[in-house]
Structure 1
Amino acid sequence: HAVVLPLLPDGWRGQPLEVDDAVLSGGVRLSFAVRWHGERPALLWEATAPLRLTAPGLDHSFAVTEARGEALLAAPAATTAREGGTVELS
């Protein structure tokens, strides 16, 4: 299970983000990007094997099990997260 962007700092809202070849447990590699369409984030991902992927800082309801894809997510709620948020990969 890979959890990307468990929190979205307010300063990151509207900013593009890209992570390339993050190594997960078992040697699976994950790349993902966030692009914005107005207030709504689009998440694009590609992994070397199928995995469960969630992004609660972007959209709590988002969960997939495909190795690659893209999704236009709901607009995230404002947060009080500290700047310098984390990416949790497991």
Structure 2
Amino acid sequence: MPERLGRHAPRGARGDFNVGPESETLAILSRDGLTEQVTAHAEAGTRTSHYRKPMRFADYMLVNDAARVQDFRVVRSPRCRITARCS
């Protein structure tokens, strides 16, 4: 991340990355100080039951420590989506 943002400013990235939890993409973001939230809080994954392939994760939300996540969950109804509340 650019230094002009500062290491103490809340930062994050989220989206449909279409990569597995062990991907180089997530490893790079982790090395930059972002903590992945989805795999820690959504054991069943982010895919709906309509997705039949074994990879259960594609959507991710990463934040740095300054974001101070207060609540995180994957909402399963009406369809799978990620929500988080940060201060």
Normalising to structure 1: TM-score of the pair?
0.30
CA radius of gyration, larger in: 2
Normalising to structure 2: TM-score of the pair?
0.31
Between structures 1 and 2, the one with greater strand share: 1
Between structures 1 and 2, the one with greater helix share: 2
- Highest RCO, 1 vs 2 (Cα 8 Å, sep ≥ 6): 1
